[in-house]
């Protein structure tokens, strides 16, 4: 027998009972509002219902904030992994929007308030900010187009350091890690080659590394990036200026 489709009305009675237990008088479909609740001396409370998270649900809830700050969204609860991941992300979104979030487990009408409406205050993550600034400063040039897939091997500062080691080994053959670090300026060359996240390096003997077949292939795959790394910063800036020559915006003119 097919399972009956979930409807928004399935959420109404469990939430109505839950709010009534908190001392609210609750009514459905008041104007454009799915659920409206009133309690003496409190601002009205509004709940928007949907059978799943959607942009429409958030649009409706944000619109209701012109009436009251106490606005919740409500969806059916699920124990599935995709829903749990979505729930976590949408709790974070609700927190930023100042919305509350409720789920209803329909098999027993159990109501769970996950978040109450509150003004959002952004918390700056100083370690995360520092990591981004370090990556920005260390990365040579701008090798990745914004929006590129992370699964295709973005050229990070770490990858650029590994490419420097790879290029040195390609010209020098098996070499001591200390010499590679000195020649390339990559202080953690030994760690990069020892960890070998890309499969480019193998240890010949203690402290000495050489290129793997995968590393040889990477020389062709990252030829443009290797050329960029070999170019002094001044030369790269001059190249950029040459490319822009004659294509910049209108020049200022004035009388002598």
177 in the same domain as 104: no
Question: pLDDT (tens digit, 0 to 9) for every residue of the chain, 256 residues total?
Answer: 445 788 999 999 999 999 999 999 999 999 999 999 999 888 999 999 999 999 999 999 999 999 999 999 999 999 999 999 999 999 999 999 999 999 999 999 999 999 999 987 666 667 777 777 776 776 666 666 665 554 456 788 899 999 999 999 999 999 999 999 999 999 999 999 999 999 999 999 999 999 999 999 999 989 988 888 876 544 444 454 444 444 444 444 443 3
160 in the same domain as 103: no
Is this structure's pTM higher than 0.85? no
Residue 142: inside a domain? no
The CATH number of whichever domain residue 78 belongs to comes to: 3.40.1350.10
Output Rg (C-alpha) for the chain, integer angstroms.
29
| Contact indicator for 202, 209 with CB cutoff of 8 Å | yes
226 in the same domain as 161: yes
110 in the same domain as 189: no
Residue 130: inside a domain? no
| Contact indicator for 111, 14 with CB cutoff of 8 Å | yes
Q: What is the pLDDT of residue 193?
A: 95
Residue 35: inside a domain? yes
Residue 135: inside a domain? no
90 in the same domain as 187: no
Q: What is the pLDDT of residue 127?
A: 79
210 in the same domain as 159: yes
181 in the same domain as 109: no
Number of domains in the chain: 2
Q: What is the residue range of 59's domain?
A: 9-115
DSSP conformation letters of 73-126: EEEE---SHHHHHHHHHHHHHHHHHT-EEEEEETTTTEEEEEE----------H
Extract the tokens encoding 111.
């109501």
91 in the same domain as 164: no
C-alpha torsion angle, residues 168, 216, 227, 247 (rounded to 10): -160
């Amino acid at each position: 027998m097919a399972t009956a489709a979930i409807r928004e009305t399935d959420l109404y009675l469990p939430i109505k009972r839950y709010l009534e237990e908190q001392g609210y008088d609750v009514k459905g479909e008041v104007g454009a509002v799915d659920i409206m609740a009133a309690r003496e001396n409190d601002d009205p409370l509004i709940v928007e219902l949907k059978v799943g998270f959607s942009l429409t649900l958030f649009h409706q809830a944000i619109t209701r904030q012109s009436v009251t700050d106490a606005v919740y969204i409500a969806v059916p609860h699920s124990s599935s992994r995709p829903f749990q991941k979505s729930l976590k992300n949408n709790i974070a979104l609700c927190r930023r929007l100042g919305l509350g979030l409720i789920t209803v487990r329909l098999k027993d009408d159990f109501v769970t308030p996950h978040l109450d409406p509150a003004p959002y205050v952004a918390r700056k993550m100083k370690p995360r900010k520092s990591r981004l600034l370090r990556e920005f400063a260390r990365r040579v040039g701008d090798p990745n187009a914004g929006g590129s897939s992370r699964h295709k091997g973005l050229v990070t500062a770490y990858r650029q350091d590994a490419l420097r080691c790879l290029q040195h080994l390609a010209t020098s053959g098996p070499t001591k890690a200390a010499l590679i670090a000195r020649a390339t300026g990559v202080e953690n060359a030994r760690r990069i080659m020892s960890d070998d996240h890309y499969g480019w390096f193998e240890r010949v003997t203690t402290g000495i590394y050489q290129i793997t077949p995968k590393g040889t292939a990477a020389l062709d795959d990252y030829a443009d990036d290797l050329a960029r790394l070999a170019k002094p910063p001044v030369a790269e800036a001059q190249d950029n200026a040459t490319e822009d020559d004659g294509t910049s915006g209108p020049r200022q003119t004035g009388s002598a």
